[in-house]
């Protein structure tokens, strides 16, 4: 017989090869997703008919109808897909109508669902599983919902869906209704990081939250919620809020459409508040203002810049050219002046634009929830000094040491004005007419007994303990610990001022408290104790 290959031989061989090919599961398996996008009149008529039939058959259920806020007369109805009475997760139709006439139908419907929808587990069983897994107990209103879950790899599974808010994340779990396994989960925490331009035209990251398509200045990534409100120049509303007569809501929160923020005041207030929280946490382990993660709220644009010329002097000094801590975790940042406007020979920018100012105000909150230093006379000066010290410490923590804008130094508020100036100097208080020695303290009644002036005494003590040097008044020399060890002096002052001082503390008590803190932290006779002792002595506090 010839060796001619007959067709049957080839066929068998091909079958043989075919049978050896690897078996791969289909990407979609039996799951079918039918996308719907109907806008033509004929299609819409068909879909209206289909929807009517599907509603009658229980395949879809209307979730409700909303009026269109942008196009008058339009309504939008959402219909969820159901299979034997169980919602099909993700299956949905959206019907737009104009005066009752359907204009469009969009949606996605799953086909080929074939499941026994009788679950083995009850919602309570699943809640127990979730609690065991996450430690979070679900309330009655958060009971797991039975759904048909289309699986990424194809097919469907009967599962319970539950949204669980844990300490660091909001997670949606899908638990198999038969065996309790987690079949899918994802984070539902819609926090985002955007970028923004600060007051000095620098670029910062801002932690925001996406709600209804708009980015809000709500930082949900840090343990406390941090809000930045834009009061849009409504001073009346600002004051009502500060007095607890109105509450602010999402519409008051600073917002941005694309998360590329251009509101410089809001960017700096929001970012710097977060950084200040970070500093207190990382340096001292403190959980926010009250050490219990109190919500922090910053208010920007309490007034309108263009109204500055007609503002009263008190409004100008408080809401334009100042920043203050209003209690309850609320900070208000002055609006500054419009470009070209000059007060005191200076142009003034948004007050949230200086990191040391933001940290200063927030530190008032720390004091409020710790020593509670009474804001008058010596205790008031110590209150101010502690805010200056922490404000400067935060600046050194996040910025490069140097002179100029956005540099860390011992000046307060130097980033706010043009030409560059400052409110106070810790290195040389006398340069801003503040005392650098106890003997030169202000004893009058203005400014609550000179709280913003006499703070210079403690400020200078902090500076000398770090950097060393000679007090200009006493001539006494201090051997500082050096800038590389600045954190040690920061910890001493933090410990002394938040842990030891009473509300009506004096400078002498501040000396004793910080010396005790130095001994606690670094030992008696340590370089730190010596520096603290020499510094207070140099500024005349014994």
| Active-site residue, from 301, 335, 360, 361 | 361
Binds another protein by CB under 8 A, chosen from 102, 207, 238, 455: 207
Binding flags for another protein, 381-420, as an x/- string (CB under 8 A): -----------------x----------------------
Q: Which of residues 15-74 bind another protein (CB under 8 A)?
A: 15-17, 19-24
Q: Does 201 bind another protein (CB under 8 A)?
A: no
For 390, the token pair is 């922490």
Shortest reach from residue 108's CB to another protein, in Å: 22
Structure tokens at 95: 């019907």
Pick between residue 147 and residue 296 the one whose CB is nearest to another protein: 296
Question: CB of 324 within 8 A of CB of 260?
Answer: no
Q: Is 257 in the site for another protein (CB under 8 A)?
A: no
- Pairing verdict, β 218-219 and 32-38: unpaired
Residues 287, 274: Cα–Cα separation, whole Å: 12
Which residue lies nearer to another protein by CB, 11 or 342? Answer: 11
Q: Is 452 a catalytic residue?
A: yes
Window of 3-11, 430-438, 496-504, 505-513 that interacts with another protein by CB under 8 A? 3-11
119 vs 223, beta carbon nearer another protein: 223
Q: Kindly state the smallest distance separating residue 194's Cβ from another protein, in Å.
A: 7
3-class secondary structure per residue, 247-273: CCCHHHECEECCCEECCHHHHHHHHHH
Instruction: State which of residues 274, 353, 365, 540 lies at the interface with another protein (CB under 8 A).
Output: 274
Query: What is the CB-side half-sphere exposure of residue 271 using CA atoms within 13 A?
Result: 25
* Residue among 62, 101, 168, 439 that touches another protein (CB under 8 A): 168
Phi, psi values for residue 163, rounded to 5°: -100, 125
Under DSSP, is residue 287 helix (H, G, I), strand (E, B) or coil?
coil
Binding test (CB under 8 A) with another protein, winner from 34, 163, 205, 211? 205
For residues 453 and 303, what is the distance between their CA atoms, to the nearest angstrom? 27
CA 32, distance to chain mean position in Å, is: 41
Q: Choose between 122 and 134: whose C-beta lies nearer to another protein.
A: 134
Q: Are 504 and 530 in contact (CB under 8 A)?
A: no
Does 484 help bind another protein (rule: CB under 8 A)? no
Alpha-carbon span 491 to 222, nearest angstrom: 22
Sole residue written with tokens 């100029």: 404
Q: How far is the CB of 166 from another protein (least distance, A)?
A: 10
Residue 208 CB, nearest approach to another protein (Å): 11
Structure token digits, residue 452: 């913003």
- The catalytically annotated residue of 360, 437, 452, 460 is 452
Q: Which stretch binds another protein (CB under 8 A): 13-21, 70-78, 148-156, 388-396?
A: 13-21
Question: In this chain, which stretch among 69-77, 189-197, 350-358, 361-369 interacts with another protein, using CB under 8 A?
Answer: 189-197
Instruction: Name the minimum Å distance from CB 379 to another protein.
Output: 32
CB 457 within 8 A of CB 464: no
Q: Are 465 and 478 in contact (CB under 8 A)?
A: yes
Print burial letters for 382-411: b (CB count within 10 Å at least 16), e (below 16): bbbbbbbbbbbbbbbbbbeeeeebbebbbb
- Active-site residues: which are they? 361, 452
| Residues forming the site for another protein (CB under 8 A) | 1, 3, 5-6, 8-9, 12-13, 15-17, 19-24, 167-168, 193-195, 203-205, 207, 221-223, 271, 274-275, 278, 281-282, 398
């Amino acid at each position: 017989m010839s060796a001619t290959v007959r067709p049957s031989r080839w066929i068998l061989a091909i079958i043989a090869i075919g049978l050896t090919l690897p078996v791969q599961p289909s990407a979609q398996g039996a799951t079918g997703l039918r996308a719907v996008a109907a806008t033509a009149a004929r299609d819409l008529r068909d879909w209206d008919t289909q929807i009517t039939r599907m509603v009658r058959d229980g395949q879809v259920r209307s979730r409700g109808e909303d009026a269109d806020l942008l196009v008058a007369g339009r309504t939008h109805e959402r219909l969820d897909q159901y299979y034997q009475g169980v919602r099909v997760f993700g299956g949905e139709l959206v019907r737009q109508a104009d005066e009752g006439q359907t204009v469009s139908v969009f949606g996605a419907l799953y086909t080929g669902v074939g499941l026994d929808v009788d679950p083995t587990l009850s919602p309570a069983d699943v809640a127990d599983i979730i609690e065991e897994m996450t430690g979070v107990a679900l309330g009655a209103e958060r009971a797991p919902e039975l759904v048909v879950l289309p699986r990424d790899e194809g097919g469907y599974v009967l599962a319970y869906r539950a949204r669980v808010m844990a300490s660091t994340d909001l997670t949606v779990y899908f638990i198999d209704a038969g065996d309790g396994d987690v079949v899918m989960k994802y984070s539902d925490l819609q926090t985002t990081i955007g970028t923004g331009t600060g007051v000095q035209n620098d670029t910062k990251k801002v932690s925001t939250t996406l709600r209804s398509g708009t980015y809000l200045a709500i930082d949900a990534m840090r343990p406390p919620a941090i809000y930045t409100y834009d009061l849009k120049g409504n001073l009346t509303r600002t004051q009502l809020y500060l007095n607890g007569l109105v509450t602010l809501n999402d519409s008051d929160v600073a917002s941005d459409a694309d998360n590329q923020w251009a509101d410089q005041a809001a960017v700096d207030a929001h970012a710097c508040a977060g950084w200040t929280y970070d500093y207190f946490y990382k340096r001292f382990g403190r959980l926010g203002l009250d050490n219990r993660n109190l919500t922090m709220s910053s208010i920007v644009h309490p007034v309108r810049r263009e109204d500055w010329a007609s503002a009263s002097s008190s409004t100008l000094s408080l809401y334009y050219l100042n920043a203050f801590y209003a209690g309850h975790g609320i900070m208000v940042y002055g609006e500054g002046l419009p470009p070209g406007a000059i007060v005191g020979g200076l142009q003034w920018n948004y007050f949230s634009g200086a990191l040391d100012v933001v940290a200063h105000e927030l530190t008032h909150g720390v004091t409020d929830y710790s020593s509670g230093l009474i804001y008058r006379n010596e205790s008031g000066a110590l209150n101010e000094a502690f805010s200056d010290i922490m404000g400067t410490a935060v600046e050194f923590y996040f910025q490069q040491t140097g002179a100029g804008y956005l540099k860390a130094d011992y000046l307060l508020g130097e980033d706010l004005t043009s030409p560059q100036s400052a409110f106070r100097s810790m290195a040389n208080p006398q340069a801003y007419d503040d005392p650098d020695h106890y003997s030169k303290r202000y004893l009058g009644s203005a400014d609550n007994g000179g709280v913003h002036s006499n703070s210079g005494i403690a400020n200078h003590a902090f500076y000398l303990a770090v950097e060393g040097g000679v007090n200009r008044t006493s001539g006494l020399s201090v051997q500082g610990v050096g800038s590389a060890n600045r954190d040690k002096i920061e910890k001493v002052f933090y410990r002394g001022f938040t842990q030891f001082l009473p509300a009506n503390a004096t400078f002498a008590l501040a000396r004793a408290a910080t010396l005790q803190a130095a001994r606690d932290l670094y030992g008696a006779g340590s370089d730190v104790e010596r520096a603290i002792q020499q510094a207070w002595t140099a500024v005349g506090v014994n």
